[in-house]
Amino acid sequence: MSSIMTNASALTALQSLNATNKSLQQTQARISTGYRVAEAVDNAAYWSIATTMRSDNQALSTVQDSLGLGASKVDTAYTGMNKAIDTINSIKVKLVAAYGSTDAEKEKFQTEIETLQKQMKSYADGATFSGTNMLSVSTASGTAADVKIVSAFNRDASGKASISTIDVNVESIKLYDAGAAPDAKGILDTARLGTTGAATTSAQDPTLGDDPATGDTYSVAKLSVKGASDGQISQMMNVVDAALKDMTNAATTLGAAKSSIDLQKTFTTSLMDSIDRGVGQLVDADMNKESTRLQALQVQQQLGIQALSIANSSSQSILSLFKG
């Protein structure tokens, strides 16, 4: 049936052209943005996953910055500790040289020892990065607080987020503690028994020049060979040896923390790359596929326009029925 009121062919051609135009707009949007899923309307599930993972990746970027800052703090303390170890070795050499020497010679050795003691304090005080110093602290009471370095941002299966840290035990590595009443002083300013070199909270100053007394204590930071007897110098060597062992352990702790931070930095970088790849597989557009689809849709659009034109012109043939 021919009708001038309803052109079924034109309606069909128009629907087909509209569908082609819609697909063409979608393909052009993918090519211009580079995303197959750019908004929630494109694919709600993939968009939600991608948005969450992008947010987590931004958090990991902050973790990476925190690890870099933490590495600098630990490296600064490690450098200061190594310099202090070199210096305490020099003090040990001076004590050996002072053993059996005259009082006049001991005075000269003491001048050198005091210079080295000041140098160690300078190293400890200077080992500060971004306001953090692990070697020279001031604990009002109790123990020195650990230095916490953010090392990871985690999300469990239920979606709950959490933070992991690498903790550096400052109490075990501090060289000086200027606090009024800490539980324990630092490695270098604590009182140590002359017999064993063990740290103690009960200080007993020796009477220099006398034979060593039971319970005499010495501090590496305040060692004095001036007027000391050879027996007392021998006890001082025990104290320096014990302090050197503690400093070596402290340097090992810092070295292990530094290694752990470096490994975590490498892992975090790899993890961020993996997340980027995973998100890309969900939402990125395949440009080869989209470019091919674009060309096909452009041809379909041209054919659709031609079909609509033909359908519109078909009704004009009805006019020929009314010609005389």
Which residues, 6 or more positions from 277, have their beta carbon under 8 angstroms from its beta carbon?
A: none
pLDDT at 301 over 80: yes
Q: Which tops the pLDDT comparison, 94 or 183?
A: 94
- Name the residue with tokens 């320096």: 240
Buried residues in 36-60 as b, exposed as e (16+ CB within 10 A): bbbeeeebeebbebbeebeebbebb
pLDDT at 82 over 80: yes
What percent of the chain has pLDDT above 70?
A: 96
pLDDT at 110 over 70: yes
Per CATH, the architecture of 52-272 is what? Up-down Bundle (1.20)
Six-digit token string for 28:
């052009």
pLDDT at 233 over 60: yes
- What does the pLDDT read at residue 324? 56
Q: What is the mean pLDDT of the chain?
A: 89
> Considering the entire predicted model, what is its pTM?
0.79
State pLDDT tens for residues 141-186: 889 999 999 999 988 888 888 999 999 999 999 999 998 888 889 9
State pLDDT tens for residues 37-80: 888 888 899 889 899 899 989 999 999 999 999 999 999 999 99
- What does the pLDDT read at residue 323? 66
